[in-house]
Amino acid sequence: MTQTSEDVTWLTQEAYTKLKDELEYLSGPARAEITVKIAAAREEGDLRENGGYHAAKEEQGKQELRIRQLTQLLEKAKVGEAPATADVAAPGMVVTIAFDGDEDDTLTFLLASREYASAEIETYSPQSPLGAGVNGKKIGEDAQYELPNGKLASVKVLDAKPYSG
């Protein structure tokens, strides 16, 4: 199966290493810790009324979900910088858009995987409705995306430059 550019998640070496370390921890030591917690809670007796047991099982479920998410993300990851085409909204680019063509009503965000999210700049995934709508658009082009209520919203790409974060 050939990967298309939409299937690839571009990660810096630092981000890849951080996520790989998290996966190794969750798959190894963290799994062992949660197993011990569940066993200890099970020893306390009646499982129907055992809050510690249910909390530990819920924690285990969340941990297993994160393991699956990280595994899928890392399988699709490419380490390095995304091939950024100047003046085109693409993953790894800081994009500025105007809502409904109103150049006073703008939003600047990083088009990237949520793993890049930081407090410095708002981040939209290329799979989000807005991200998918602007992905591949050149400066000056209009894009549409679907709002939660099912209506279409229009935006105009004002700027797209590589993220230097």
SS3 120: coil
At residue 107, does pLDDT exceed 60? Answer: yes
Q: Indicate the range of 21-35, 53-67, 95-109, 113-127 predicted with least confidence.
A: 113-127
Q: pLDDT tens across 10-20, in order?
A: 677 777 888 89
The residue with greater pLDDT, 10 or 141, is 141
Name the average pLDDT for the chain.
Answer: 83
Transcribe 29-87 into DSSP letters: HHHHHHHHHHHHHHHTS-GGG-HHHHHHHHHHHHHHHHHHHHHHHHHHEEES---PPTT
SS3 133: helix
pTM over 0.75: no
The residue with greater pLDDT, 97 or 2, is 97
The residue with greater pLDDT, 116 or 73, is 73
- Residue 130, Cβ neighbours under 10 Å: how many? 21
Q: pLDDT tens across 16-62, in order?
A: 888 899 999 999 999 999 999 999 888 887 777 888 888 999 999 99
SS3 106: strand
Nearest to 115 by CA among 26, 39, 19, 32: 19
Domains of the chain: 9-79 (1.10.287.180), 93-162 (3.10.50.30)
